[in-house]
Amino acid sequence: MSSSVPRPRDPRIRPPGSFTVTRAGEASVVAVAGELDSTVTAQFTALLAGELSRRPPALICDMSAVEFCAARVLMILIDTVADAALKGVPFAVAGRRRALLRPIDALDLEHVLPVHGSVAEAVSWLALSAHSRP
């Protein structure tokens, strides 16, 4: 019998969420991998807030290696969109994995949380949007 309900993470099979930050001239990139469940949301929130406080030229959250994405993580991303706008830091999400797109589609969040196919696409989008600002 098949079920669409997410199963609890088995650390022997699927890794918990992990984060790396890369800072380059055009953007800070927070790369996320593994399962993003309630065990990592506080760390994820603090990491994104910390990067925003540095006021990078842009902030990109690379979700291309995410295997599971809890709804709370989407709220963190939406909050980051708002916080980044207040600080004047362009923000984008990259990575078109099913684990990320499925909850975005299910919750009808495409208009609030656009996702780019790759970090390169996000950088290009941010550059284009920078040119269209007054």
Model confidence pLDDT, tens digit, residues 88-127: 999 999 998 999 999 999 999 989 998 999 999 998 888 8
**The pTM is what?**
0.83
Classify residue 33: in a domain, yes or no.
yes
Classify residue 4: in a domain, yes or no.
no
Whether residue 100 contacts residue 63, with contact meaning beta carbons closer than 8 Å, is answered with: yes
Classify residue 90: in a domain, yes or no.
yes
DSSP conformational letter for 120: H
Classify residue 81: in a domain, yes or no.
yes
Classify residue 9: in a domain, yes or no.
no
Q: In total, how many domains does the chain have?
A: 1
Q: Give the C-alpha distances (Å, rounded to integers) separating 110 from 2, 43, 115, 119.
A: 27, 25, 8, 18
Nearest CA-CA partner of 126 in 63, 39, 59, 70:
59
Residue 9 — pLDDT band, cuts 50, 70, 90?
A: low
Domain interval for residue 102: 18-132
Instruction: Give strand ranges (E) for the chain.
Output: 18-23, 28-36, 59-69, 91-94, 115-116
Nearest CA-CA partner of 32 in 14, 44, 50, 42:
44
Classify residue 2: in a domain, yes or no.
no
Classify residue 12: in a domain, yes or no.
no
Classify residue 5: in a domain, yes or no.
no
Residue 59 — pLDDT band, cuts 50, 70, 90?
A: very high
What is the CATH number for 41?
Answer: 3.30.750.24
